Amino acid sequence: MHIPAILALLPLAAQAVNIISANDDGWAEKNIRTLYDSLTAASHSVVISAPAENQSGKGSLDKEPTGLSEPCEFDSCPEGSPAVGHNATQPRWNYVNSYPVTSIKHGIQNLSTTFFNGEPDLAVTGPNVGANLGVVTSFSGTVGAACYAAHEAGIPAIAFSGGSGSPTAWDDPTPDYAKLYAELATKVVGAVVAAGKPYLPEGVFLNVNFPKVNDGKCNKADDFKFVLSRIYDAVPLVSSKDVETCNNDERLPTETKVTRAGCYVSISVGKASNKRDAKAAQQGEVLKKLGDFLTCLPK
In this predicted model, which residue has the larger pLDDT, 16 or 236?
Answer: 16
> Across all residues in the chain, what is the average pLDDT?
93
Contact 145, 102 (CB under 8 A): no
Rounded to an integer, what distance in angstroms lies between the CA atom of residue 279 and that of residue 33? Answer: 34
Question: pTM for the complete prediction?
Answer: 0.94
Task: State pLDDT tens for residues 57-71.
Answer: 999 999 999 999 999
pLDDT at 63: 98
The arithmetic mean of pLDDT across residues 80-96, rounded, is 97
* Total Cβ atoms within 10 A of residue 248: 15
Inform me whether the pLDDT recorded for 153 exceeds 80: yes
Rounded to an integer, what distance in angstroms lies between the CA atom of residue 100 and that of residue 286? Answer: 26
DSSP-assigned states of every residue in the chain? --HHHHHHHHHHHHT--EEEEE-SS-TTBHHHHHHHHHHHHTT-EEEEEEESS--TT-TT--------SSPPGGG-S-TT--SEEE-SS-TTEEEESS-HHHHHHHIIIIIHHHHTSS--SEEEEEEEEB---GGGGGT-HHHHHHHIIIIIS---EEEEEESS----BTTSPPPHHHHHHHHHHHHHHHHHHHT-SSSS-TTEEEEEEEPPP-SSSS-SGGG-EEEEEBSSPPPTTTSPPPPP-TT-TT-PPBHHHHHTSSSEEEEEEEETTTSSBPPHHHHHHHHHHHGGGEE----
Residue 184: which of 267, 257, 115 has the closest Cα? 267
User: From its phi and psi, is residue 30 left (phi > 0), alpha (psi between -120 and 50) or beta?
Assistant: alpha
Tell me: cis bond preceding 198? Omega within 30 of 0 counts. yes
Task: State pLDDT tens for residues 226-276.
Answer: 999 999 998 887 888 999 999 877 799 999 999 999 999 999 999 999 999
The rounded percent of the chain whose pLDDT value lies above 90 is 88
Q: Among the listed ranges 31-40, 80-89, 189-198, 244-253, which one has the minimum average pLDDT value? A: 244-253
Inform me whether the pLDDT recorded for 10 exceeds 90: no
pLDDT at 214: 78
Going by pLDDT thresholds of 50, 70 and 90, the confidence category of residue 160 is very high
